[in-house]
Structure 1
């Protein structure tokens, strides 16, 4: 029986999505890209899923694109890579526009599109032996997965230039220091701690968190005056939701809010 390219497991309100091509370093071919998009869409559509978590099976998080499949495409490599990149990009767009928080759990190397996927999380938890590289220049290619857009926003222009142009490998320790990942943890605890963070978010006011991640994204592209208007509109909308009513009541009653049941 052939293994599925993507595995999905539920942990309370968390959907843990696992890239499952460990023998190929969880590299993207069309089957994996298609399966990942479907898993993300289903998790986003499921009202019982409050947070998405993403990791990789085996020793790597994701090694990027399946270079062997590029070679196999021969003269059709250009159209094939366009189709593959667009398939991966659909997943990136879904994660970027998600109304639910996203946690990425980096259990090993994240390279190429794997790096793009790794840094797409709102919270990025990396094992101590994880490392990060752009990888594209090593095979004469250019970035995809939104890397050339997001990387400089996370770590600054000069550091992004270095990673993309020289293909320098960044350790988990350095990645934490430069803001590429949220937290570095021992390898043997990465799944446990990543899930703990996801489950903590799932107990929170998920609708408000979704609006917050949208405001953060919009803030990268708007002037302050426009963004202040967006914030005012957002908080006015949020206060009318059940989460805010529960949160305000709990604050006044000096108890812990129950955002999951509202």
Structure 2
């Protein structure tokens, strides 16, 4: 089961931004892993080559504030450099994936909120950049509400698996602010500029089925089947060659910024590089022996 109790690594308490965060990380390292309490706003579980990041503020709908954003960044960085992890999964504790920004925390900041927002968004963007930079496939498993920055987080993943009862909301327009978390980038790429503008300036709520039909998410399943479907998807991705997954991810996400000639050249270089690997030799050997390949990432 994804997120089993195999190796539980909750990350980062609600440390302040910048220098205090770096000091916290240094003081809470043990065997190159983060060690904190189970009440951390982010909990990291590693099992069977899969690293699961749990948004862990269920009492606040997994609302995003400075502690969660900072811990999310640390978790993403941790998984990016962990060679044992082949797939990243992001989930939410409780009834929702995440309601987005924690408006109570935002309101409490008063006149200092613009500075707080800068700190939160900087950490949040660092986490999203790490997910994209990493060659490891990332899956967002969405149930309940997925709004605002949480929707940005889900769309930044390579795959979005949603329960049929899940719903998505851009949400920013009701607060009188523009989007963050790469929302404008992801929506424009996935749905086109007209749909992106509609969703960001007119839409209040999008069902899972509508999000699927618009190409915003990957799959929809019955809520009671979410766990099993997530496990199947994550394990299938973990069984792939890490080098090939990394190459495919890079090719796909760069495709709309290159010409056809540039993309053909990139595909050629990528294919030859993969064909020179031990994983390719294992793939050919497994094919000849009529068995599933066991890729080592070499």
TM-score tier, shorter chain, comes to: over 0.9
1:28 aligns with 2:64: yes
3-state SS of paired residue (1:259): coil
2:185 to 149, 170, 181: 149
Runs of 5+ unmatched residues, structure 2:
1-36
Q: 2:110 aligns with which of 74, 78, 82?
A: 74
The residue that corresponds to 1:201 in the other structure is: 237
- Structure 1 counterpart of 2:168: 132
- When normalised by structure 1's length, the TM-score is 0.95
Greater CA drift, 161-170 or 131-140: 161-170
The partner residue of 2:149 within 101, 113, 118 is 113
Q: Any gaps of 5 or more consecutive residues in structure 1?
A: none
**Contact 1:64–1:112 (CA under 8 A) maintained in structure 2:** yes
- Alignment partner of 1:210 is 2:272: no
Structure 1 residue runs of 4 or more that deviate by more than 4 Å after TM superposition: none
CA positional deviation for 1:260: 4.3
Inter-partner Cα distance in structure 1 for 2:236 and 2:230: 10
CA distance in 2, matches of 1:167, 1:83: 28
CA contact (8 A) 2:139 2:158 kept: yes
Give CA deviations for 1:82-115 in whole Å, capped at 9, x if unaligned: 1111110001100111111111100221111100
Aligned length: 262
From 138, 159, 162, the counterpart of 1:102: 138
2:94 matches 1:58: yes
Please report how far the alpha carbon of residue 192 of structure 1 lies from its aligned counterpart in structure 2 after TM superposition.
2.6
Q: Which residue of 2 aligns with 1:188?
A: 224
Aligned-pair distance for 1:261? Answer: 8.0
- By relative contact order (CA 8 Å, sep 6+), the higher-ranking structure is 1
How far apart are 1:157 and its partner, in Å? 2.0
Cα distance in 2 for residues equivalent to 1:256 and 1:85: 43
**Residues 195/2 of structure 1: CA separation in 2 closer, same or farther (3 Å cut):** closer
- RMSD over equivalenced CA pairs, Å: 1.5
